[in-house]
Amino acid sequence: MRQKKVNLCSKILVVLIVGFMITLTGCGGNERVASGGGDGNAELVELLNVSYDPTREFYATYNKMFSEYWKEKSGQGISVTQSHGGSGSQARSVIEGNEADVVTLALAHDVTAIEEAGLIERGWIGEFDSNSAPYTSTIVFLVHKGNEKNIQDWNDLIKDGVEVITPNPKTSGGACWNFLAAWAYQQKQDGNDEDVTKKFMKKLYQNVLVLDSGARGATNTFVENGQGDVLIAWENEAYLAMKEYPDQYEIVTPSVSILAQPSVAVVDSNVDDHGTREAAEAYLEYLYSDEAQRLAGDNYYRPVKEAILKEYSGQFDLDMNLVTIDDFGGWDEAYRVYFEDGAIFDQIYEE
Amino acid sequence: MEQQIVKVKNKRGVRVIPGFGLSFGVTLSMLSVLVLIPMASVFVSVGKLGLREFVDVVFSRQIISSYIVSFSCAFVAALVNAVFGMILAWVLVRYEFPGKRLMDGIIELPFALPTAVAGISLTYLYSDQGWIGSFFDRVGIKIAYTRIGITIAMVFVGIPFVVRMVQPVLAKLDRQYEEAAMMLGAGRARIFFKVILPELFPALIAGFGLAFARGIGEYGSVVFIAGNIPYKTQIAPLLIMTKLEQYKYEDATAIALVLLLVSFVVMLIINSAQIYMQKFSRT
Handedness of CA A254, A255, A256, A259 (dihedral sign): positive
Interchain proximity A21–B223, CB inside 8 Å: no
- Which residue range(s) make up the domain with A51? 32-135+261-311
d(CA A222, CA A228): 6
Q: Residue B115 pLDDT > 50, yes or no?
A: yes
Which of A14, A86, A346 is nearest residue B106 as measured by Cβ atoms? A14
Shared domain check, A129 and A252: no
Shared domain check, A197 and A303: no
- C-alpha to C-alpha distances, B151 to B61, B75, B123, B225, nearest whole angstrom: 22, 9, 12, 10
d(CA A205, CA A219): 17
Shared domain check, A339 and A215: yes
Q: Is B11 exposed, middle or buried (0-12, 13-18, 19+ CB in 10 A)?
A: exposed
Quickly state the pLDDT bin for B279 (edges 50, 70, 90). confident
pLDDT value at position A265?
Answer: 96
Shared domain check, A131 and A74: yes
**Residue ranges per structural domain of chain B:** 50-282
Helices (H), A53-101: 56-74, 87-95
- Residue A314: what are its φ and ψ, rounded to 5°? -75, -30
Residues of chain B with C-beta less than 8 angstroms from the C-beta of A179: none
Q: How many CB pairs under 8 A join A and B?
A: 98
Residues of chain A with C-beta less than 8 angstroms from the C-beta of B111: none
d(CA A235, CA A252): 10
Partnered with residue A252 across adjacent β-strands are A141
Cβ contact B86:B232 at 8 Å: no
| Buried b / exposed e along B138-162 (16+ C-beta atoms within 10 A) | eeeebbbbbbbbbbbbbbbbbbbbb
Interchain proximity B246–A88, CB inside 8 Å: yes
Shared domain check, A255 and A126: no
Q: Residue B261 pLDDT > 70, yes or no?
A: yes
Residues of chain B with C-beta less than 8 angstroms from the C-beta of A349: 62, 230-231
Q: Are strands A230-234 and A139-144 parallel, antiparallel or unpaired?
A: antiparallel
Residues 250-269 on B with a CB inside 8 Å of A are 251
- Neighbouring residues of A293: CB distance < 8 A, sequence distance ≥ 6: A134, A135, A287, A303, A304, A305, A308
Contact of B63 with chain A, judged by CB distance below 8 Å, is answered with: no
ipTM surpasses cut 0.90: no
Count of the separate structural domains present in chain A: 2
Residue A328 lies in a domain: yes
Contact of B61 with chain A, judged by CB distance below 8 Å, is answered with: yes
Shared domain check, A248 and A155: yes
SS3 state of residue A5: helix
The CATH code belonging to domain B50-282 is: 1.10.3720.10
pLDDT value at position B2?
Answer: 47
Contact of B110 with chain A, judged by CB distance below 8 Å, is answered with: no
Interchain proximity B129–A25, CB inside 8 Å: no
Cβ contact A101:A276 at 8 Å: yes
pLDDT value at position B282?
Answer: 56
- Neighbouring residues of B23: CB distance < 8 A, sequence distance ≥ 6: none
- Neighbouring residues of A141: CB distance < 8 A, sequence distance ≥ 6: A151, A157, A230, A231, A232, A233, A238, A251, A252, A253, A254
CATH code at position A221: 3.40.190.10
CA distance B129 to chain A (A): 6
Quickly state the pLDDT bin for B23 (edges 50, 70, 90). confident
pLDDT value at position A136?
Answer: 94
Digit-by-digit pLDDT tens for chain A (351 residues) are 445 555 665 666 566 666 555 554 544 334 344 444 444 445 789 999 999 988 988 999 999 999 999 999 988 899 999 999 888 888 999 999 899 999 999 989 999 999 999 999 999 999 999 999 999 999 999 999 999 999 999 999 999 999 999 999 988 888 999 999 999 999 988 777 889 999 999 999 999 999 988 888 899 999 988 899 999 999 998 998 998 898 899 999 999 999 999 999 999 999 999 999 999 999 999 999 999 999 999 999 999 999 999 999 988 988 889 999 999 998 889 999 999 888 999 999 886
- C-alpha to C-alpha distances, A36 to A50, A51, A65, A135, nearest whole angstrom: 16, 17, 8, 21
Mean pLDDT of B3-13: 51
d(CA A100, CA B234): 32
Cβ contact B94:B170 at 8 Å: yes
Q: Are strands A77-83 and A44-51 parallel, antiparallel or unpaired?
A: parallel
Alpha-carbon dihedral angle through residues A339, A341, A344, A345, given to the nearest 10 degrees: 60
Q: Is A189 exposed, middle or buried (0-12, 13-18, 19+ CB in 10 A)?
A: middle
Percentage, residues of chain B above pLDDT 70: 93
Shared domain check, A243 and A338: yes
Strands (E), A24-123: 32-36, 44-51, 77-83, 102-104
CA proximity to A144, closest of A218, A242, A290: A242
Shared domain check, A151 and A71: no
Interchain proximity A224–B124, CB inside 8 Å: yes
Shared domain check, A245 and A226: yes
d(CA B263, CA B276): 20
Shared domain check, A331 and A193: yes
Tens digit of each residue's pLDDT (9 = 90 or more) over B213-247: 999 999 989 999 998 999 999 999 999 988 888 88
CA distance B227 to chain A (A): 4
- Helix (H) or strand (E) holding A266, with range, is strand A264-266
Q: Is B122 exposed, middle or buried (0-12, 13-18, 19+ CB in 10 A)?
A: buried
d(CA A188, CA A193): 9
Interface residues of chain A, partner chain B, Cβ below 8 Å: 6-7, 9-11, 13-15, 17-18, 21-22, 24-25, 27, 29, 86, 88-89, 92, 95, 113, 168, 170-171, 208-213, 224-227, 341, 346, 349-350
Residue A6 lies in a domain: no
d(CA A23, CA A40): 32
Shared domain check, A284 and A162: no
pLDDT value at position A194?
Answer: 87
d(CA B40, CA B260): 12
Q: Residue B184 pLDDT > 60, yes or no?
A: yes
Mean pLDDT of B116-123: 92
CA proximity to A228, closest of A238, A240, A218: A218
- How far does Cα B102 stand from its chain's mean position? 23
Interchain proximity A211–B230, CB inside 8 Å: yes
Interchain proximity B246–A341, CB inside 8 Å: yes
pTM: 0.81
CA distance A161 to chain B (A): 15
Q: Are strands A230-234 and A164-165 parallel, antiparallel or unpaired?
A: parallel
d(CA A316, CA B218): 43
d(CA B133, CA B25): 52
Cβ contact A105:A263 at 8 Å: yes
CA distance A307 to chain B (A): 38
CA distance B115 to chain A (A): 11
Residues of chain A with C-beta less than 8 angstroms from the C-beta of B250: none
Which of B113, B145, B245 is nearest residue A170 as measured by Cβ atoms? B245
Interchain proximity A22–B114, CB inside 8 Å: yes
Residues of chain A with C-beta less than 8 angstroms from the C-beta of B116: 27, 29
pLDDT value at position A39?
Answer: 43
Contact of B99 with chain A, judged by CB distance below 8 Å, is answered with: no
Contact of B238 with chain A, judged by CB distance below 8 Å, is answered with: yes
Residue A7 lies in a domain: no
Interchain proximity A21–B238, CB inside 8 Å: no
Contact of B96 with chain A, judged by CB distance below 8 Å, is answered with: no
Cβ contact A218:A210 at 8 Å: yes
Length of chain A: 351
Shared domain check, A274 and A151: no
Mean pLDDT of B116-134: 91
- How far does Cα B247 stand from its chain's mean position? 30
pLDDT value at position A19?
Answer: 59
pLDDT value at position A32?
Answer: 41
CA distance A90 to chain B (A): 9
Contact of B220 with chain A, judged by CB distance below 8 Å, is answered with: no
Interchain proximity A171–B242, CB inside 8 Å: yes
